């Protein structure tokens, strides 16, 4: 990510909409499911048919509380409001949401790098349906016609509003990434940005360094990946800086991020902004979870990613105190993010080498997280033991691990089947002798201390053994011959 223009500060607040993975919708018993035939998971309530009434889903409330507690919020008595505006994919032409008394308030997230981002609120609301504009480039303005799918209407959402504590595109990405991990860890959401279960809007403003007052902000919508979030914020910040530096001013408005063009464009100005005419939803009663319920939710909450990262880091370090924890941070974050920390911990518990177990999980196992979470930690430990003990090479270890993820058996069986058992020391010695004999000039330079040629010689051995030799042992053997 490029640095911002010197002399300017960026301020970002993020609004994240997170779909809860309840079985049913927020106010009716229709299935909360993604990707089904349009308008099949609908009923009078979620279609907003005349006379229908909402009944609050208890599990959605519980999930919202999980999120709030995981974000260090206070869970408070709350009420629902109606947010009124016309849109074809909103069945009642108002959205049931929470306004001035949300269920969760005043929390924070600790980012892996240590930055703390405040959470203003995390409130419950219902999702809208989905409109597809047909023809004319897919935007409403020049579409030939539009189709509406109400399957998503009434799906429970929690909207998480950060404080404007974010000051770079990287931090914005780190925030969403950490938030996503927390949501997944809480069990409340699958956190899938591509499927729209996680949607991010960014409030972006810039000011000259040292200014106290925040600049005029623009809300940027339609980022559907972490990458586009970072790009959109950067673009928008530079746009605003450019405007201000050329004597213009920023107009408060909502802007649309166009991924293909890599730019934002005006969606609607402040003047065109809706007056939502919020008022308390008379069809629902106040929501006051009793403290026993809140405590039970708190007690049942699994450890959150930051705690798990700390635990895993300490464990890996304890297995090898010489390690640099800082250098392992990304691997630890990946492993925790994918829910593989249990696998690593248990393998270490079985005596496996911590650094290797972590590396294999963060790299190879991470490509197949579902299968990896189902791995037998003991078998994984055995594999790490084989690699650590030099019985197999790193390359072989990776291959065996991928086979294990395919469910192809125990590590020892796989090693045997693939013929990885043995480029043993004697056999290896013969090959090395052969390579030295075939490359006398290179050998001479190696003996004289040329480390660059060492890689060439090692590579020859690897080629001869089809990659089956243990790299560490090869290096040891060459050096033994040199000094011998």
User: What are the b/e assignments for 316-336, b being 16+ CB within 10 Å?
Assistant: bbebeeebeeeebeebbbbbb
CA distance 296 to 94: 33
Q: Which stretch binds another protein (CB under 8 A): 111-119, 185-193, 274-282, 382-390?
A: 274-282
Instruction: Answer yes or no whether residue 56 interacts with another protein by CB under 8 A.
Output: yes
Closer to another protein by CB, 44 or 351: give it.
Answer: 44
Instruction: Answer yes or no whether residue 86 interacts with another protein by CB under 8 A.
Output: yes
Least CB distance to another protein at residue 47 (A) = 7
Q: Which stretch binds another protein (CB under 8 A): 79-87, 187-195, 202-210, 385-393?
A: 79-87
Closer to another protein by CB, 27 or 446: give it.
Answer: 27
- Residue positions counted in the chain: 484
Closer to another protein by CB, 108 or 278: give it.
Answer: 278
Closer to another protein by CB, 51 or 449: give it.
Answer: 51
Instruction: Answer yes or no whether residue 411 interacts with another protein by CB under 8 A.
Output: no
Question: Measured on CA atoms in the order 105, 300, 192, 82, is the torsion positive or negative?
Answer: negative
CA distance 255 to 219: 6
Instruction: Answer yes or no whether residue 88 interacts with another protein by CB under 8 A.
Output: yes
What is residue 330's three-state secondary structure? Answer: helix
- With both helix axes pointing from N to C terminus, report the angle between 169-186 and 305-319 in degrees, rounded to the nearest 10: 90
Q: Identify residues 114-153 at the interface with another protein (CB under 8 A).
A: 140, 146, 148
Least CB distance to another protein at residue 51 (A) = 4
Q: Which stretch binds another protein (CB under 8 A): 8-16, 276-284, 345-353, 362-370?
A: 276-284
Closer to another protein by CB, 49 or 211: give it.
Answer: 49
CA distance 68 to 393: 46
Instruction: Answer yes or no whether residue 49 interacts with another protein by CB under 8 A.
Output: yes
CA distance 484 to 478: 10
Instruction: Answer yes or no whether residue 91 interacts with another protein by CB under 8 A.
Output: yes
Size of interface with another protein, in residues (CB under 8 A): 30
Least CB distance to another protein at residue 89 (A) = 9
How is the beta sheet containing 94-97 ordered, strand by strand? Answer: 94-97, 81-84, 279-280
Closer to another protein by CB, 93 or 330: give it.
Answer: 93
Least CB distance to another protein at residue 283 (A) = 5
Q: Which stretch binds another protein (CB under 8 A): 60-68, 92-100, 293-301, 449-457?
A: 92-100
* Token output for 69: 């507690």
CA distance 51 to 359: 59
Closest CA to 173 of 351, 353, 333, 7: 333
* Token output for 226: 């972490």
Closest CA to 461 of 393, 391, 390: 393
Q: How far apart are the first and last CA of the chain?
A: 51
Instruction: Answer yes or no whether residue 25 interacts with another protein by CB under 8 A.
Output: no
Strands 8-19, 198-208: parallel, antiparallel or unpaired by DSSP? antiparallel
Q: Which stretch binds another protein (CB under 8 A): 10-18, 78-86, 104-112, 434-442?
A: 78-86
Instruction: Answer yes or no whether residue 51 interacts with another protein by CB under 8 A.
Output: yes
Q: Which stretch binds another protein (CB under 8 A): 51-59, 231-239, 245-253, 379-387?
A: 51-59
Residues forming the site for another protein (CB under 8 A): 44, 47-56, 82, 84, 86, 88, 91-94, 140, 146, 148, 275, 277-279, 282-285
């Amino acid at each position: 990510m490029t640095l911002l223009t010197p002399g300017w500060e960026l301020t970002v607040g993020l609004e994240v909409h997170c779909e809860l993975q309840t079985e049913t919708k927020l106010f009716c018993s229709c299935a909360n499911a993604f990707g089904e035939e349009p308008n099949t998971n609908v009923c009078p309530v979620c279609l907003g048919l005349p006379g229908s009434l909402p009944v609050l889903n208890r599990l959605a409330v519980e999930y919202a509380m999980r999120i709030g507690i995981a974000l260090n919020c206070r869970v408070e008595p709350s009420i629902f409001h109606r947010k009124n505006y016309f849109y074809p994919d909103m069945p009642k032409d108002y959205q049931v949401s929470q306004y001035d008394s949300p269920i969760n308030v005043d929390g924070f997230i600790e980012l892996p790098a240590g930055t703390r981002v405040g959470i203003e609120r995390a409130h419950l609301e219902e999702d809208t349906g989905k409109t597809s504009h047909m023809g004319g480039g897919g935007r409403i303005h020049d579409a030939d016609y539009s189709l509406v799918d109400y399957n998503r209407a009434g799906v429970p959402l929690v909207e998480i509003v950060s404080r404007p504590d974010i000051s770079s595109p990287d931090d914005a990405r780190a925030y969403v990434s950490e938030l996503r991990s927390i949501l997944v860890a809480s069990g409340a959401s699958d956190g899938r940005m591509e499927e729209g279960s996680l949607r991010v809007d960014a409030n972006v403003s810039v000011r000259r360094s040292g200014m106290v007052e925040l600049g005029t902000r623009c809300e940027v919508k339609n980022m559907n990946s972490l990458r586009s979030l970072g790009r959109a914020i950067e673009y928008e910040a530079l746009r605003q800086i450019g405007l201000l530096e050329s004597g213009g001013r920023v107009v408060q408005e909502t802007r649309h991020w166009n991924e293909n063009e890599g730019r934002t464009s005006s969606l609607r100005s402040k003047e065109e902004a809706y007056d939502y005419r919020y008022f308390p939803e008379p069809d629902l009663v106040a929501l006051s979870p009793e403290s026993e319920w809140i405590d039970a939710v708190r007690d049942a909450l699994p450890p959150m990613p930051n705690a798990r990262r700390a635990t895993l880091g300490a464990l890996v370090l304890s297995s090898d105190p010489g390690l640099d924890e800082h250098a392992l941070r990304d691997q630890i974050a990946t492993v925790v993010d994918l829910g593989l920390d249990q696998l690593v911990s248990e393998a270490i518990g079985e005596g496996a080498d911590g650094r290797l177990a972590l590396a294999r999980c963060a790299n190879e196992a991470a490509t197949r997280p579902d299968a990896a979470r189902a791995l037998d930690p003991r078998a994984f430990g055995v594999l790490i033991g084989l690699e650590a003990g030099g019985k197999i090479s790193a390359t072989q270890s990776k291959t065996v691990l991928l086979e294990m993820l395919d469910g192809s058996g125990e590590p020892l069986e796989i090693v045997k089947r693939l013929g990885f058992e043995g480029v043993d020391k004697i056999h290896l010695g013969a090959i090395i002798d052969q390579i030295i004999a075939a490359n006398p000039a290179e050998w001479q330079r190696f003996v004289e201390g040329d480390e660059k040629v060492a890689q060439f010689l090692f590579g020859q051995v690897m080629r001869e053994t089809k990659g089956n030799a243990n790299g560490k042992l090869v290096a040891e053997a060459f050096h033994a011959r040199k000094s011998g």
